[in-house]
């Protein structure tokens, strides 16, 4: 247990005790010493209540670490060879593993939440999991006997994966570039951001507000890719990247139909210039595409209609 906690490299931990037939109980914000001192008592109480109790652990309020569950040894080895080494690996059943992946060193300056969301999504892909799959919250604590198997430590590096700098810093720099271009465009067209527009119209729901903002931006002749970028950016903090993209493209399509009063099949965004793809939207997403899959979508790649471009991007990583 000591090696397990040390490898998570956190000052505070949360515990979850699951007992069959009862609601889970939680112990939050414990120091390493408190965890080690309380585990024998907690486990004894849980074992008296019922057999098959399990103890889960996680670092308290640490956005830089990610838990992936139910992995084979082959998946873990392949991801490690590509530069996505686990900080901690726990065998929870014969041949099945939980992996803690550390994106940021403890105490380092965290990037924007949406950047961490993209990094988490990419790491899931590297470990052969669906990119939109929800991460685990509590991992099994090694050394606590289970009904059929006692979880044990398989690997305890405790460090960030070797490509973490490439993912986090590249995504953060492209995110900053995209945000700068978007803010400049909104200022040039004298438009508020979707969030600000919603604050100015509190009686509208968020979707109604975003739709009204999209209409205003469209009639102000804000370029289509900037409208999509602004709508997606307004959702990224609380939603998965793919969900934000899907929301933006769907809302943009609805807006076009309402403005033009045309059928859904005819509601398509205008063609982009054939050799100059939208810089603000494409630069950020293409950066992620290049580091996560090795594919290229640089400035020389021919552009397609924005709606179809986002649809293809979404389908590729679904």
Write the CATH number for 83.
3.30.70.1790
Residues 173 and 128 in one domain: no
Give the domain extent around 306: 167-316
Task: Map residue 17 onto helix, strand or coil.
Answer: strand
Same domain, 145 and 185: no
Per-residue pLDDT of the chain (318 residues; tens, 9 = 90+): 899 999 999 999 999 998 888 889 999 999 999 999 988 888 777 665 566 788 999 999 888 999 999 999 999 999 999 999 999 999 999 999 999 999 998 888 888 777 888 888 889 999 999 876 778 899 999 988 888 889 999 999 999 999 988 778 888 888 888 889 999 999 999 999 999 999 999 999 999 999 999 999 999 999 988 998 899 887 765 556 667 878 888 899 899 888 876 444 444 444 333 333 344 344 444 544 444 444 444 433 333 344 444 444 444 433
Distance, in Å, from the CA atom of 127 to the CA atom of 120, rounded to the nearest integer, reads: 11
pTM of the predicted model, to two decimals?
Answer: 0.68
**Residue 157: CB atoms within 10 Å:** 15
Residues 187 and 246 in one domain: yes
Name which of 96, 89, 46 is nearest 70 in CA terms.
96
């Amino acid at each position: 247990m000591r090696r397990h906690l040390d490898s998570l490299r956190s000052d505070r931990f949360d515990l979850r005790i699951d007992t069959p037939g009862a609601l889970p109980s939680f112990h939050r914000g414990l120091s390493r010493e408190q965890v080690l001192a309380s585990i024998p008592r907690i486990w004894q109480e849980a074992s008296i209540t019922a057999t098959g109790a399990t103890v889960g652990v996680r670092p308290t309020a640490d956005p830089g670490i990610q838990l992936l569950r139910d992995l084979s040894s082959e998946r873990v080895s392949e991801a490690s060879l590509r530069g996505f080494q686990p900080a901690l690996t726990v065998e929870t059943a014969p041949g099945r593993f939980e992996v803690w992946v550390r994106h940021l060193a403890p105490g380092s300056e965290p990037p924007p939440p949406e950047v961490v969301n993209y990094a988490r999504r990419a790491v899931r892909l590297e470990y052969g999991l669906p990119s939109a799959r929800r991460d685990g919250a509590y991992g099994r604590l090694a050394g606590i006997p289970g009904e059929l198997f006692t979880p044990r430590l398989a690997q305890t590096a405790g460090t960030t994966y070797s490509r973490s700098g490439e993912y986090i810093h590249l995504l953060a720099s492209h995110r900053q570039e995209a945000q700068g271009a978007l803010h400049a465009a909104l200022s040039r067209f004298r438009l508020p951001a979707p969030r600000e527009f919603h604050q100015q119209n509190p009686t509208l729901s968020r979707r109604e507000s975003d739709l009204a903002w999209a209409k205003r931006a469209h009639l102000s002749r804000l370029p289509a890719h900037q409208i999509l970028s602004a709508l997606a950016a307004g959702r990224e903090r609380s939603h998965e990247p793919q969900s934000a993209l899907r929301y933006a493209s769907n809302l943009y399509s609805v807006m076009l139909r309402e403005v033009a009063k045309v059928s859904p099949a005819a509601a398509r965004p205008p063609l982009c210039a054939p050799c100059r793809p939208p810089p603000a939207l494409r630069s950020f997403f293409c950066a992620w595409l290049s580091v996560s899959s090795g594919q290229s979508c640089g400035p020389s790649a021919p552009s397609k209609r924005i709606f179809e471009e986002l649809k293809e991007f979404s389908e590729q990583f679904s």
